[in-house]
Amino acid sequence: MTPARAQANERLAAAHKTAVIVVTALIASIVVYSGAGILVLKTGPAAPQAELPYPFYAAAAALAIGSIAVRRAQLHRMKLEVVAVTRGVAGLIKHLLNATIIAAAAGEVIGVLALLVVFFGGSQNDVIRLGAVALMVSIYNYPRRSAWQRAVDYFSATLPEANESKLGL
């Protein structure tokens, strides 16, 4: 293994660890939001029931679809190739981290919607549904080390050595 590849693997391990910590924290906060929403419903005064929280469901659906679209667009092979060629392997690793965090943040916003629906007349079922969607989005965006490793290995093998040294490795 070349020193540049070893350094890329170290950077990848650090970036993946950061992504795992961030996404896990987002998942934990979604659970807290949903739990707080259920707790408010159980202990607080009964809020007037809304007809149906369609705007919350529409926003959650838009965010979920948007998160999946962002992840697929940012982690598409052609996009990764452009990033690797222009920014090198170090830029590719940063891109993988940023794309994962951005896509997982949409799940966090859906979790906030699960809490907000309580204050607009939502029921316990509404909180649970929105919380479940938020968890599914976050779990879908959970970083997979093997996929990251394959991308970094592929692009570090295909990039010329001169390009790697010029771009930070």
Mean pLDDT for all residues in the chain: 87
122 vs 19: CA distance, rounded Å? 33
DSSP, residue by residue, 60-87: HHHHHHHHHHHHHHHTSHHHHHHHHHHH
- 121-160 pLDDT, tens digit each: 888 999 999 999 999 999 998 889 999 999 998 888 887 6
Residue 104, CB-side half-sphere exposure with 13 Å CA sphere: 24
Residue 24, number of CB atoms within 10 A of its CB? 13
Residue 122 has a pLDDT of 84
Residue 163 has a pLDDT of 47
